[in-house]
Amino acid sequence: MKKNIEKKGSMLSSSRQYGIQDLRANLFEKTKGSTLDKINSFTKFAGRQNIAKLVAQYEMLMMTKNVLGNIIEGGVFHGSGLLGWANLSVSLEPYNYQCKIIGFDTFQGSKGVTSKDQSLSNIKRREKEYNANNYEDILRTIEVFDLDRPLNHIKKMEVIKGDISKTIPAYVKKNKQLTVRILHLGMNLYKPTYHSLKNFIPRMSKGSIIAIDGLNHATPGCFEALKENLEISKINLKTFDYYPNFSYFVI
């Protein structure tokens, strides 16, 4: 079995693209302007894939416009998806206090790899993959995010640390009012995906969205988890032509 190459970003990137990402990082470091100038001109440094991801998140937000509920990000990693949802939500629906953005992660990388995740010949899923070890950083990011948003006396974001297979059932049990509008799962593993679907689906109304990363490509365990929770022929499983990493369906 070949070594898992999904360590620098995405296994979807070719070696040439990894080289381009390095050039982009170098450009960010060496180019003129303060850090703030660079943040304010982030489109100068972000790749087309980063922009496409944000646009796909925007589309899902629009598809679920006025659907009641929170947005769940299962698997936070460095926070691009989590803060993507949060920034889009406060920019487009500044007064929607009924839509919270909740991230779940071990913050210590993958947990719960099973044989169901190992059926692809070219990827070996392993424990502690994608270990960003950044729980405190994400909390600090949320503190700064909260400083400049409407209704910032009402909590908008939350992150729950620990193995999703345990934290999500406990969270759902504790939060009896909870409804979900978008459930985005990017752990790439059967077990946490299974528990997320099992616990959140009963909290999702018609029109809400479930998105799972790379279903027909690199995550056999996630497809298995989906099959065990829903009848595939009853859903319209789709992707975005410009950002196929998201597989999704509208309930």
Ligand X SMILES: C[S@@+](CC[C@H](N)C(=O)[O-])C[C@H]1O[C@@H](n2cnc3c(N)ncnc32)[C@H](O)[C@@H]1O
The residue number with the shortest CB distance to ligand X is 81
214 closest CA partner among 230, 237, 182: 237
Residue from 59, 146, 163, 224 touching ligand X (CB under 6 A): that is 163
**Strand residue runs (E) in the chain:** 70-74, 101-105, 157-161, 180-185, 204-213, 238-240, 243-250
Question: Does the footprint of ligand X cover residue 111 (CB under 6 A)?
Answer: yes
Residue from 60, 102, 164, 182 touching ligand X (CB under 6 A): that is 164
Pick the stretch among 40-48, 105-113, 223-231, 243-251 that binds ligand X (CB under 6 A): 105-113
**Minimum distance of ligand X from residue 50's CB (angstroms):** 10
Identify which of residues 156 and 195 has a Cβ nearer to ligand X in the complex. Answer: 195
Q: Concatenated DSSP letters for 82-101?
A: HHHHHHHHHHH-TT-TT--E
Question: Does the footprint of ligand X cover residue 132 (CB under 6 A)?
Answer: yes
196 closest CA partner among 220, 180, 207, 217: 180
Pick the stretch among 62-70, 102-110, 118-126, 219-227 that binds ligand X (CB under 6 A): 102-110
Max CA distance (Å), the chain: 54
Q: Tally Cβ neighbours within 10 Å of residue 196.
A: 30
> Mask: binding to ligand X, 51-90, rule CB under 6 A, as x and -?
----------------------x-xxxx-xx---------
